[in-house]
């Protein structure tokens, strides 16, 4: 189960925000029963690109051995 401050990986493109499959974000809020999550995506410099409400199908947990791209 995802928790606040977990890193997650986007599983679909979100063209409105120029986000692509594989982009990494941080869970900043979990809604009841894991039905949805607020996820923040930032640049390498720390500027926020978007904060979006996403469903479990839109994201997956980041794995410790993954390489950021």
Q: What is the pLDDT of residues 8-42, one digit of tens each?
A: 999 999 999 999 999 999 999 999 989 999 999 99
Q: What mean pLDDT is predicted for residues 43-68?
A: 95
| pLDDT at residue 10, as a whole number | 97
What's the helix, strand, coil split of the chain in %, to 5?
A: 15, 40, 45
The DSSP bridge partners found for residue 48 are: 42
What does the block give as tokens for 4? 């606040």
pLDDT at 54 over 90: yes
| pLDDT at residue 68, as a whole number | 84
Residues 59, 25 contacting (CB under 8 angstroms): yes
Distance CA 56, CA 40 (A): 15
* Sign, CA torsion 13/52/56/5: positive
């Amino acid at each position: 189960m995802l928790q606040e401050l977990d890193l997650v990986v986007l599983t679909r493109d979100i063209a409105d925000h120029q986000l692509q499959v594989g982009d990494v974000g941080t869970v900043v809020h979990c809604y009841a029963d894991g039905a949805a999550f607020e996820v923040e995506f930032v640049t390498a410099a720390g500027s926020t690109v978007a904060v979006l409400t996403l469903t479990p199908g839109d994201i997956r947990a980041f794995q410790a051995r993954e390489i950021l791209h």
